[in-house]
Structure 1
C-alpha cells in the first residue's frame, strides 16, 4: 500500500468534501487533531463552505478538484449518488479516502470503488461509525459466536439523505454490525417495507440467515416518533442488550447448571420456586449492567483512518466491509420491491402499498407510473 506520508512527523494533509452536517463534523474534528492538516473544505454552496472554512481555518473551495494535488487523503461526505464519481476520482489520483456510509447506492458501484482502491494501493474506509461505539466494545467478548441478532433503529424524518431510503440511510449500520458479529456469509434474505413520505422506503423490516445458522432480525424506520438504536444478541453462553444511544449494556449469563441442562424445574419445592422467582436474575440467569463513558465515535473513526494510512494496515471498516453491507442492502431492497401485500399478483406490491389511486389528489401519478418514472 502506498504511503504519501511516510515521514510520521509530517502532518497528513486532508480535504473534506461536503459542508453539510456530517462534513461539518468531520472537518471540525480533523482541524483539531494532532498530525492532521485540514487543507480545504469543498462544497458547491458558497455560504456552506465559507462558514465551515471560517470555523476550521481551512481553505474553502467550490470544486474538490482544486485541492487534489495538495492533499494525501480525503473524507467524502456528499450525497450517496455522487460517491462513485467523487471517491473514484480521489482513489484514481492515489488519495486515501474515507467515504461516509453507505459506500455506494449499488453493489456494482461499490465494487468499482473497492477495485479502484486496490489498483491504486491506497486506504479505503467506510463510515460505519457504530463500529466505534464504546458500548459494543465493552461487551465484545460476550458477543462471540451469535445465534440470534435483533437490531432496531428508528428516528424522525430529517429531510436529509432523501436520495436514498431507510435501508441505505439507517439499516445499513445494523447490516454492517450483523455481518461483523456473525462473521459468516448471508445465505437467505426476507424483507418488507413501504414508503410514507417520499419516493423511497421509509420503514423496513428484514431477516438475514447466515451460513453459520445465525439469524438477524433488523428493523429501521425514519418516520418514527421515537429515537431508538438498540441491539440484542443471543449466544450459546449469554444474552446481551445494548442501547447504542445511552451506551448502557445488560449482559445475562446463565450459570453452568443452566447451560449444561442440569437444572431440574420439576424437582424444585414450592418454597424454592418462590425464591427463584424473586432472584432468578441473581442466581440462575445472572445479570450485570454497565454504562460506558461517552466518546466521539467519528473522531475514533478518523483516528483509525489516519493510523491505517500511516501503518499500512486495513482500517477497522474496510472498503470490502462497506461493499458487503451494500450487497446485503441490495438484496433487502429487492425483497421489499417483490413483496405482495395482498398475497396475489394482481394486488399491491413493493414499497408503494398505498390504497387505490382514487384517494390521491388529482395530478399525482398512479403507482405504476411513479415506479416507471424512477
Structure 2
C-alpha cells in the first residue's frame, strides 16, 4: 500500500512536533517542510529525512495532505491554496483569528469537498477519552489552564491560544446551546488578552467557569 505523502508548513515551536510525529507514523511519508526561516527549515527537514522549501506553494504538486502550523493570522491564506487544490488540510488550533476567516475556511472546504480538520489534540487525550463517557449531563464544570509567557502565538490572545482547548471540551460535555457568556480579561504583554476568566451558562442549566492565563509565574 502506498504511503500518504504529507507536508508541514511552519516548523516553529509547534510545527516541529507535527513534523516529528508525521515522520514516525505508519503509512505516512513526510516529503517536505516549508518554512521561511531557512536555518530552522533545513534543520527540521534533515532531522526527518525530508526536503525543505521556503515557499509553501512548492508543496502543492507533491503532497496528499498538509499540516498548517503558521501564525494564526495566516491560516486562511495558506490553507486556502490547498483546499482549492482539493488537498486535505490539518490546521493547528485555533482554526482562524476571527469568525469571518474561520467561516471562509469552512466554506472553502465545503465548496471543494475537501477535508479540513482543526488540531484540537485534547479530544484525543487518553484521560479525556476515559472520563468523558462518565460525564453525562454535568451541572457544573470548572477548567483552569495556565502557563508562563512563552513569547509564541503573540498574534492572538489567550482565549484562542489556550482557553480554546477547554472551550472545545466544555461545549462537547454540556451538549447544549449557550444562554449567556460573562468574561473579564487583561492584557499585559501586548495588544491581546493574556489572562481571562469566563462563565458560560447553557440552556440546559449547566454552568462552566473557565480560567486561562499565559502570564502565570509557574505553569
Normalising by the smaller structure, the TM-score range is over 0.9
Query: CA RMSD for the aligned pairs?
Result: 0.9
In 2, Cα distance between equivalents of 1:65 and 1:203: 36
Deviation at 1:98, TM superposition (A): 0.4
> Which runs of 5 or more structure 1 residues have no equivalent in the other structure?
1-8, 228-374
- State the structure with more CA Rg: 1
Aligned to 1:160: 152
Structural mapping, 1:6-155, within 5 Å: 9-155=1-147
In 1, Cα distance between equivalents of 2:131 and 2:24: 30
Deviation at 1:30, TM superposition (A): 0.8
In 2, Cα distance between equivalents of 1:197 and 1:112: 30
In 2, Cα distance between equivalents of 1:89 and 1:155: 34
Say whether 1:175 aligns with 2:167: yes
Say whether 1:206 aligns with 2:180: no
In 2, Cα distance between equivalents of 1:145 and 1:114: 29
The superposition leaves residues 5-64 of structure 1 with CA deviations (integer Å, 9 ceiling, x where unpaired) of xxxx12111010001021100101111111111111000010010000010111100011
Secondary structure at 2:139's aligned position in 1? strand
Structural mapping, 1:281-320, within 5 Å: none
In 2, Cα distance between equivalents of 1:140 and 1:62: 42
The superposition leaves residues 47-85 of structure 1 with CA deviations (integer Å, 9 ceiling, x where unpaired) of 010000010111100011011111110000000000010
TM value normalised by structure 2 = 0.97
In 2, Cα distance between equivalents of 1:139 and 1:104: 29
Deviation at 1:196, TM superposition (A): 1.3
In 2, Cα distance between equivalents of 1:126 and 1:166: 17
TM value normalised by structure 1 = 0.58
Deviation at 1:141, TM superposition (A): 2.3
In 2, Cα distance between equivalents of 1:141 and 1:172: 21
> Which runs of 5 or more structure 2 residues have no equivalent in the other structure?
none
The superposition leaves residues 115-153 of structure 1 with CA deviations (integer Å, 9 ceiling, x where unpaired) of 111111111110111111111112222211111111000
- Asked whether the 8 Å contact 2:132–2:173 carries over to 1, the reply is no
In 1, Cα distance between equivalents of 2:78 and 2:188: 30
Indicate the structure whose relative CO is greater, using CA pairs within 8 Å and at least 6 residues apart. 1
In 1, Cα distance between equivalents of 2:81 and 2:114: 13
| Off by >4 Å, runs of 4+ in structure 1 | none
In 1, Cα distance between equivalents of 2:131 and 2:157: 31
Deviation at 1:88, TM superposition (A): 1.2
Say whether 1:197 aligns with 2:151: no
Aligned to 1:256: none
